[in-house]
Amino acid sequence: MKPTELNRLSASQAAVKLQQREISAEQLVRSCLDRIEEREPAVQAWTQVAADSALAQARMLDSGPVRGLLHGLPIGVKDLFDTDGIATSYGSPIYANHVPDSDAAAVALAREAGAIVLGKTVTTEFATFHAGKTHNPHRPGHTPGGSSSGSAAAVADFMVPLAFGTQTAASVIRPAAFCGVVGYKPTYGSIVRAGVKSLSETLDTIGAFGRSVPDVALFVAALTGDKRLADTGNVDGLRIGLCRTHEWPLADPDTQAAFDLARRRLTAAGAVVTEIDLPAHLSTMVQVQTEVMAFDAARSLAHERVRHPAMLSSDLAALLASGMSISVEQHQRNLAGAALGRQLIDSVFDSCDVLFAPSAVGTAPEGILATGNPVFSRMWTLLGVPCVHLPFMTGAHGLPVGMQAVGRIGGDRGLLQAAHWMMEKLSG
């Protein structure tokens, strides 16, 4: 592969070449920077590219021993994470001039494992629904999804092999779906959130974007210290529960077609595939998640709401107002309902190893002022289960479509192994 094409390596491919010294970190960083220079005017995935510091870090890594699992890999960092010496605005004009003097814990862990911060990627306003400037790399003028807009777009457009995301409603899975990359939301609490701007203590989960399941598995293995996650070896006799969810009536023809194609291909590949009906109580989870998110956000963003109301978008102001209107008693009932939901979903996995469910209503909608409907991920985020989006087909309008694999709480290793196997069969 020519040095100018190294940006097209997946993270797992590049990691092997870097650790064996077949390529240098500086070569890979330069290839990514060249791609950003070429494509950023159209995609607009970045708030800041830290080219000089990235190249300096690459040279240092090239001159010393292999650092860790992420040695020499450039990463994009969602602009919700603090980064030492790199502007961090959380998607809001309130923090336009904010430059942290320390890294978020997850960023520090990534650097410790040898990753190179290439820059900051666009987030929506405080990771809510007011969109940023990013376009879908497959079709300008269409949304990349949100709130991890820039991270998904940058990975999809070969600007960087890995990027951080966060999910409070659908902010990893939906942009992964719209941009046609793999997105992984681990079990809630798997990756430490210190130094990441909080939206909902109950829901916020750090995740990852890559171009294959082994990519995101490698990234999260480094961040959690659980190297077992990087072993995505094949599985036998996989029991897959096709799960339309209670929100299925919202699925458009592209998502319905993905569901049917998945059933045919996975059955033909030898998996035991059955359709799963969820317990009735889980039909309330979308509403519960919506209210929990609003309640928490109104309090997490109290400073911004009280001190800088004129600098909030009307979208966010409305969300925070709705959160303040929810009583503590209602919030406690919602938390109790979510706890019951976690018990019920755990029992569903007694009859299957993994669930396969819609990731989004359909393909990326036209326009970049909204990020698409998060309905198909709200429940899973509330329940805290791990999810992996798998892109495996193209919709009627030439945009990516896929579905998400969902695992048991704490069952991330098995989910990643199942997802890797499923991705290989679905892509065939």
Active site residues: 78, 147, 171
Q: How many CB atoms lie within 10 A of CB 181?
A: 28
Quick one: how far is CA 174 from the chain centroid? 8
Residue 373 CA to residue 18 CA, distance in Å, equals 39
- Following DSSP, what letter does each residue of 332-374 receive, concatenated? HHHHHHHHHHHHHHHHHTTS-SEEEEESSSSSPPBBSSS----
**Tokens of residue 214, six digits:** 């082994």
Enumerate residues 6+ apart whose C-beta is below 8 A from 187.
384, 385, 386, 407, 409, 410, 411, 412
**Tokens of residue 285, six digits:** 């989870």
Q: Environment class of residue 65 by beta-carbon count within 10 Å: exposed (0-12), middle (13-18) or buried (19+)?
A: exposed
